[in-house]
């Protein structure tokens, strides 16, 4: 490689051999590396093959002459310098060679010193040129980089003079804010700042401190130049000082700043904080925001000695809407409910959704409890009109509990708790009403709460059991069927009867998993008995209205039959009259499907409700069960006796199976026989027993009840 730094490479081109040789020898002595060419053609060949720093070119040569070689070098843009040598005395050829780009001209014959001097000059000129070019290139490159970096910065970069007018800004101001750079330069910063943020802007825009002490990260709103939007920019700036002068201290020139677009980040932060404080479905305040407002309101009420009211509102039977019509309609209903509630309020009141179908309302300043009652009244009345949701006309009501400050509590937690207690009280008193908190409500609420918590846990912990109570054939005394009854063995509360927890289970929806548990247990027991060849004629299971109404109930039963490989005819479902009153067509279809599987249907607690005979015809009912309350004072109590007599006669007329419940005395048994009631159930025959105890009874296959008192003629049967 021939480089400028090493030995300069020289090509000597001459057609005269002795000249070539003497020149080469001379140049080598002076430390140059020399190659030779004997004519234009071989010169071009040599130049093509390797670079030379300098060409010593004879102009007058036969064939391709020096001029043509010059022409060729120019055309090829070869990076080399040329000194032409000529015996020609006319100045013309020298000028034309120089014009073609030769660095110098030497006339033959020449002095050695002259030659060496010209070569040295040409080479050092060439070296300088090369260095200059490299420096220029570097400068252009770094300037380009600097410009590129400043202009393609995602942030606005600017400088202001000491008066606060722009002296520089990068291209970003155009793409971000829609201003041409030229229109910004020279303008005062206040031209661009949102009016409300001007004061904040003063500090950061006229920052005199430099370095780490300067103001950092100040958010300022800036209107867009051409569009009607407001951007939020985060400014960082510091003072610039002229340190070139000799003055001490250095003089303040202006500020240098960077503005970052944080509009999206700001929006996201706002959204997050909105979500943290609002219920997304209804747009109402959430629990957190409500507490904030309540805390503030209590502080105000304390300072200015006024009252405030807190209401706890709960939709009645919202669960039914959700379960029967689906969550989408349930959600829409909640949105409408929120809107209707808002209509009942004044500005300053806070309405919040606590979750589910529970709302809280804060009236931050009232004069008397009547003010709160008036609002509660208004709300209850406003729910008198139906809601129209997706083609459904829905009537919903609210139960409201009210707690007042300072009378019913002096802090957030007590007020919320007491309003909640009052709400439960209004539910207990029949729903669709409001109730002011009273101190004696506390006990019942605490009981309820602990029961509810325990009930939820009971399912996971397997605390439920089922027992079976035999139903006997009045004539033979033998078991004709049994009723499945659920029990709750709570380690905390003891052995609980269904009456103590079924109402709460229904209210909380836990009746569904409990009902499923009972069904599974009964089916499982039926399979055990079937395999042991002990099957009673019929296993009755109590079905709660809510469970029956649930979508998929029929499918669930069908699946159970298949899973346990049992026939429907082994089972009976006990329903209460209220089920049949609810929604005729819907239920009738379900009952027909159940009857279609061979499952019998019994009407439980007959005589206590409407006891309308019309639905006995309308629904596929096989059995009616005379409510046990009619056994009290029977026989003897004339009222009960006539009712039982009438029911027995009716059942016979309609050819329905009839079971008398709660039979405890021999006299009752005897009378039922006389009235031709065909089945009976009660402590006289057996208490509800575990599956294992029932298995023993079934194996004995003996008549139950007082043998010696069995009606005489029965013994012959």
Q: Which residues bind Ca ion (CB under 5 A)?
A: 542, 574, 604-605, 661
572 binds ligand C2E (CB under 6 A): no
CB of 680 to ligand C2E, least distance (A): 9
CB of 631 to ligand C2E, least distance (A): 7
CB 659 within 8 A of CB 626: yes
CB of 683 to ligand C2E, least distance (A): 4
CB of 645 to Ca ion, least distance (A): 19
Contact window for ligand C2E (CB under 6 A) among 55-63, 164-172, 284-292, 680-688? 680-688
Q: Which of 15, 16, 371, 664 binds ligand C2E (CB under 6 A)?
A: 664
CB of 501 to ligand C2E, least distance (A): 9
CB 37 within 8 A of CB 43: yes
When CB distances are held under 5 to 8 angstroms depending on the partner's kind, the choice from Ca ion, ligand C2E, none that residue 497 binds is ligand C2E
C-alpha 643: how far from its chain's center? 60
CB 283 within 8 A of CB 338: yes
Cis peptide bond upstream of 249, omega within 30? yes
Does residue 645 sit in helix, strand or coil? helix
Contact window for ligand C2E (CB under 6 A) among 109-117, 494-502, 558-566, 695-703? 494-502
Name residues whose C-beta falls within 8 Å of residue 485's C-beta, 6 or more positions apart in sequence: 466, 467, 468, 469, 498, 542, 688
Binding mask 448-487 for ligand C2E (x = CB under 6 A): ---------------------x--------------xxx-
CB of 559 to ligand C2E, least distance (A): 19
Q: Which of 333, 502, 601, 644 binds ligand C2E (CB under 6 A)?
A: 502
> For residues 717 and 130, what is the distance between their CA atoms, to the nearest angstrom?
134
390: exposed, middle or buried (C-beta count within 10 Å: 0-12, 13-18, 19+)? Answer: exposed
Binding mask 92-131 for ligand C2E (x = CB under 6 A): ----------------------------------------
CB of 547 to ligand C2E, least distance (A): 7
When CB distances are held under 5 to 8 angstroms depending on the partner's kind, the choice from Ca ion, ligand C2E, none that residue 253 binds is none
Return the residue nearest Ca ion (CB atom). Answer: 574
CB 590 within 8 A of CB 548: yes
As given in the structure block, the two tokens for residue 626 are 């005379």
Cα angle 553, 555, 559; round to 5 = 120
Q: Which of 66, 470, 688, 705 binds ligand C2E (CB under 6 A)?
A: 688
Nearer to ligand C2E, 421 or 624 (CB): 624
Looking at residue 535, what DSSP letter applies? -
Contact window for ligand C2E (CB under 6 A) among 16-24, 289-297, 581-589, 677-685? 677-685
When CB distances are held under 5 to 8 angstroms depending on the partner's kind, the choice from ligand C2E, Ca ion, none that residue 518 binds is ligand C2E
Q: Which of 239, 364, 662, 691 binds ligand C2E (CB under 6 A)?
A: 662
| Residue environment code for 629-666, b if the CB has 16+ CB neighbours within 10 A, otherwise e | ebbeebbeeeebbebbbebbebbeeeebbbbbbbbeee
Cis peptide bond upstream of 109, omega within 30? yes
Does residue 95 sit in helix, strand or coil? helix
Contact window for ligand C2E (CB under 6 A) among 105-113, 214-222, 587-595, 675-683? 675-683
The DSSP code sequence of 380-449 is HHHTTSPEEETTEEE---EEEEEEEETTT-SSHHHHHHHHHHHHHHHHHTTSSEEEE--GGGHHHHHHHH
Q: Residues touching ligand C2E: how many (CB under 6 A)?
A: 24
Find the radius of gyration of the CA atoms of the chain: 52
Nearer to ligand C2E, 261 or 506 (CB): 506
Nearer to ligand C2E, 15 or 665 (CB): 665
Nearer to ligand C2E, 101 or 498 (CB): 498
CA-closest candidate to residue 645, choices 671, 680, 625: 671
When CB distances are held under 5 to 8 angstroms depending on the partner's kind, the choice from Ca ion, ligand C2E, none that residue 362 binds is none
609 binds ligand C2E (CB under 6 A): no
> For residues 117 and 104, what is the distance between their CA atoms, to the nearest angstrom?
11
| Residue environment code for 457-496, b if the CB has 16+ CB neighbours within 10 A, otherwise e | ebeeeebbbbbbbbbbbbbebebbbbbbbbbbebeebeeb
Contact window for ligand C2E (CB under 6 A) among 85-93, 322-330, 448-456, 681-689? 681-689
CA-closest candidate to residue 516, choices 566, 479, 481, 550: 550
Nearer to ligand C2E, 38 or 664 (CB): 664
Does residue 235 sit in helix, strand or coil? strand
> For residues 569 and 575, what is the distance between their CA atoms, to the nearest angstrom?
17
Looking at residue 24, what DSSP letter applies? H
CB of 688 to ligand C2E, least distance (A): 5
When CB distances are held under 5 to 8 angstroms depending on the partner's kind, the choice from Ca ion, ligand C2E, none that residue 641 binds is none
Footprint of ligand C2E on 615-634 (CB under 6 A): 628
Q: Which of 13, 47, 201, 518 binds ligand C2E (CB under 6 A)?
A: 518
The helix or strand, by DSSP H or E, that contains position 342, with its residue range, turns out to be helix 327-343
Contact window for ligand C2E (CB under 6 A) among 28-36, 132-140, 221-229, 662-670? 662-670
Q: Which of 174, 314, 604, 679 binds ligand C2E (CB under 6 A)?
A: 604
Query: Regarding beta strands 623-626 and 571-576, do their DSSP bridges make them parallel or antiparallel, or are they unpaired?
Result: unpaired
> For residues 693 and 468, what is the distance between their CA atoms, to the nearest angstrom?
9
499 binds ligand C2E (CB under 6 A): yes
- The 10 Å Cβ neighbour count of residue 681 is 25
544 binds ligand C2E (CB under 6 A): yes
Contact window for ligand C2E (CB under 6 A) among 76-84, 173-181, 224-232, 495-503? 495-503
CB of 664 to ligand C2E, least distance (A): 4
CB of 437 to ligand C2E, least distance (A): 32
Cα angle 249, 251, 257; round to 5 = 120
Nearer to Ca ion, 372 or 624 (CB): 624
CB of 641 to Ca ion, least distance (A): 19
CA-closest candidate to residue 98, choices 75, 76, 74: 74
Q: Provide the binding-site residues for ligand C2E, judged by CB under 6 A.
A: 469, 484-486, 497-499, 502, 515, 518, 542, 544, 574, 604-605, 628, 661-664, 681-683, 688
């Amino acid at each position: 490689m021939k480089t400028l730094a090493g030995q300069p490479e020289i090509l000597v081109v001459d057609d005269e051999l002795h000249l070539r040789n003497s020149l080469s020898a001379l140049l080598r002595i002076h430390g140059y590396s020399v190659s030779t060419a004997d004519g234009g053609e071989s010169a071009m060949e040599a130049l093509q093959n390797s670079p030379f720093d300098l060409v010593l070119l004879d102009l007058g040569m036969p064939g391709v002459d020096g001029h043509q070689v010059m022409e060729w070098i120019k055309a090829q843009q070869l990076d080399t310098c040329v000194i032409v040598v000529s015996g020609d005395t006319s100045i013309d050829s020298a000028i034309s060679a120089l014009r073609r780009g030769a660095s110098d001209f030497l006339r033959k014959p020449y002095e050695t010193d002259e030659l060496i001097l010209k070569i040295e000059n040409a080479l050092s000129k060439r070296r300088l040129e090369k260095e200059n070019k490299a420096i220029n290139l570097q400068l252009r490159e770094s300037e380009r980089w600097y410009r590129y970096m400043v202009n393609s910065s995602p942030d606005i970069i600017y400088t202001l003079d000491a008066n606060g007018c722009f002296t520089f800004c990068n291209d970003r101001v155009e793409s971000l804010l829609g201003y041409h750079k030229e229109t910004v330069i020279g303008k005062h910063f206040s031209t661009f700042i949102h009016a409300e943020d001007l004061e904040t802007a003063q500090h950061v825009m006229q920052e005199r401190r430099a370095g780490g002490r300067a103001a950092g990260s100040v958010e300022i709103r800036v209107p867009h130049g051409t569009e009607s939007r407001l951007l939020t920019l985060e400014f960082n700036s510091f003072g610039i000082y002229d340190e070139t002068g000799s003055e001490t201290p250095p003089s303040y020139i202006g500020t240098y700043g960077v503005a970052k677009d944080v509009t999206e980040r700001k929006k996201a932060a706002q959204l997050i904080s909105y979500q943290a404080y609002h219920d997304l479905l209804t747009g109402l305040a959430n629990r957190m925001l409500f507490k904030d407002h309540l805390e503030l309101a209590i502080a105000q009420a304390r300072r200015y000695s006024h009252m405030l009211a807190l209401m706890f509102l709960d939709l009645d039977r919202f669960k039914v809407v959700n379960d029967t019509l689906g969550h989408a309609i349930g959600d829409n209903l909640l949105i409408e409910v929120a809107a209707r509630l808002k209509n009942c309020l004044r500005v300053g009141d806070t309405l919040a959704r606590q979750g589910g179908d529970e709302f809280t309302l804060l009236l931050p300043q009232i004069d008397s409890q009547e003010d709160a009652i008036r609002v509660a009244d208004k709300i209850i009345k406003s729910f008198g009109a139906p809601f129209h949701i997706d083609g459904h006309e829905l009537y919903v009501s609210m139960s409201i509990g009210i707690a007042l400050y300072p009378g019913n509590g002096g802090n957030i937690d007590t007020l919320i708790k007491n309003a909640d207690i009052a709400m439960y009280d209004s539910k207990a008193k029949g729903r669709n009403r409001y109730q002011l908190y009273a101190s004696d409500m506390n006990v019942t609420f605490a009981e309820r709460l602990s029961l509810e918590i325990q009930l939820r846990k009971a399912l996971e912990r397997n605390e439920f059991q089922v027992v079976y109570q035999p139903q006997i054939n009045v004539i033979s005394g033998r078991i004709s069927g049994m009723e499945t009854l659920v029990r709750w063995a709570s380690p905390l509360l003891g052995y609980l009867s269904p009456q103590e927890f079924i109402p709460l289970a229904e209210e909380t929806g836990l009746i569904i998993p409990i009902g499923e548990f009972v069904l599974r247990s009964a089916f499982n027991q039926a399979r055990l008995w079937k395999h042991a060849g002990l099957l009673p004629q019929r296993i009755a299971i109590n079905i709660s209205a809510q469970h029956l109404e649930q979508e998929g109930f029929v499918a669930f039963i069908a699946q159970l039959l298949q899973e346990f490989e049992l026939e429907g005819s082994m089972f009976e479902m006990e329903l209460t009259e209220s089920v049949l009153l609810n929604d005729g067509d819907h239920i009738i279809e379900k009952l027909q499907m159940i009857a279609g599987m061979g499952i019998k249907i019994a009407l439980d607690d007959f005589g206590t409700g409407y006891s309308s005979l019309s639905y006995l015809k309308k629904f596929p009912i096989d059995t009616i069960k005379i409510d046990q309350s009619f056994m009290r004072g029977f026989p003897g109590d004339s009222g009960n006796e006539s009712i039982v007599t009438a029911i027995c006669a009716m059942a016979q007329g309609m050819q329905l199976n009839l079971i008398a419940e709660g039979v405890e005395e021999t006299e009752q048994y005897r009378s039922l026989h006389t009235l031709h009631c065909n089945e009976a159930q009660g402590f006289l025959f057996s208490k509800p027993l575990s599956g294992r105890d029932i298995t023993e009874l079934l194996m004995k296959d003996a008549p139950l009840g007082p043998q010696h008192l069995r009606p005489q003629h029965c013994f012959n049967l």
